[in-house]
Amino acid sequence: MKNIPLIKLNNGIEMPQEGLGVLNAGKFEDVKMAVLDGLDIGYRMIDTAQIYFNEEAVGAAIKESSVDRKDIFLTTKVWIANYGYENTKKSIQTSLEKLQTNYLDLVLIHQPYGDYYGAYRALEDLYDEGKIRAIGVANFMPDRYVDLVRFSRIVPAINQSETHVFYQQNELKKYLKKFGTHLESWGPFAEGRNNFFTNETLKKIGAKYDKTGPQVALKFLTQNGIIIIPKSVHKERMQQNLDIWNFKLSNEDMDAISQLDTGKTLFFSPHDPSTVERFAKLTKEMKQK
């Protein structure tokens, strides 16, 4: 098993700094095999979500795996359609059943829209009841994040946000540090956008360490204390993503990669009204089904 460092969260529990993401990982059997392969080569953190529609496959894989449930850090996220205090509590029970477990290690509020306050209150109570070991948010930019922190009982342990070499979230990190929340990166490879896989800076630095550009990009994030969940359904790629814990980037290399930051999203801005409209439309369509 790879020696993946553990990050201590603000409530004292620990989670692996690298895990396996399963967004768009395919159909049931594809997701199940990806999780089984991931656990087999050393991953001990799996990140899913209600909106991924693959919690059943993740649960089946964990059940079938030889890895004990207590040794797996399992994350899911509550989708907007399930916001509101009572709806969120019901949806978590459904997630527990789909994942075939009686507790969750981390549950996040997936987007900062709708009645996310009611949803977060439900997570706080489920945390108090011991059904969730840690709670947090995703895609909360500084304003929404600080607002939630200031008007909630429990400070989020995690804020999972778009974070990669082209969008390093320096402003957000200032506020997360102030209140003791860890940043978790989704999209650490920028999903190949902005010519990520052929970036000359990353390739040049990688050659010095006999590593690939993507491995350098992951190392840059983790060396900055960020938690990562790179997604892959190919075992050899998963292995490559794990092979970042046996080298360290120099200060010069870290500075060079820092210069790649554009300060702009490559996907969507939570502040853009069109983003809100898109998620509202999707949520309405889901409720009508």
DSSP for residue 231: B
Angle between the 55-64 and 85-98 helix axes, to the nearest 10 degrees? 40
**Helix locations, the chain, DSSP H:** 28-41, 55-64, 85-98, 116-128, 142-150, 170-179, 200-209, 213-223, 235-242, 251-258, 273-288
Q: Tens digit of pLDDT for each residue in 8-25?
A: 999 999 999 999 999 988
Return binding residues.
110
Unique residue bearing structure tokens 């790179």: 230
pLDDT at residue 216 tops 50: yes
Section 237-264 average pLDDT? 97
Q: Residue 59: its pLDDT value, please?
A: 98
Query: 247 exposed, middle or buried (CB, 10 Å; 0-12, 13-18, 19+)?
Result: middle
CA distance linking residue 255 with residue 6, whole number of Å: 25
Single pTM value for the model: 0.95
Q: Which domains can be identified in the chain, with CATH numbers?
A: 6-288 (3.20.20.100)
pLDDT band at 200 (very low <50, low <70, confident <90, very high): very high
Q: Residue 1: its pLDDT value, please?
A: 43
Q: Tens digit of pLDDT for each residue in 254-289?
A: 999 999 999 999 998 888 899 989 988 888 887 776
Q: Residue 72: its pLDDT value, please?
A: 98
Q: Residue 102: its pLDDT value, please?
A: 97
* Three-class SS state of 196: helix
Q: Residue 2: its pLDDT value, please?
A: 54
Q: Tens digit of pLDDT for each residue in 119-177?
A: 999 999 999 999 999 999 999 999 999 999 999 999 999 999 999 999 999 999 999 99
Return binding residues for substrate.
110
pLDDT at residue 113 tops 90: yes
* Three-class SS state of 74: strand
Q: Tens digit of pLDDT for each residue in 81-101?
A: 999 999 999 999 999 999 999
Q: Tens digit of pLDDT for each residue in 26-63?
A: 899 999 999 999 999 999 999 999 999 999 999 999 99
Kindly list the catalytic residues: 52
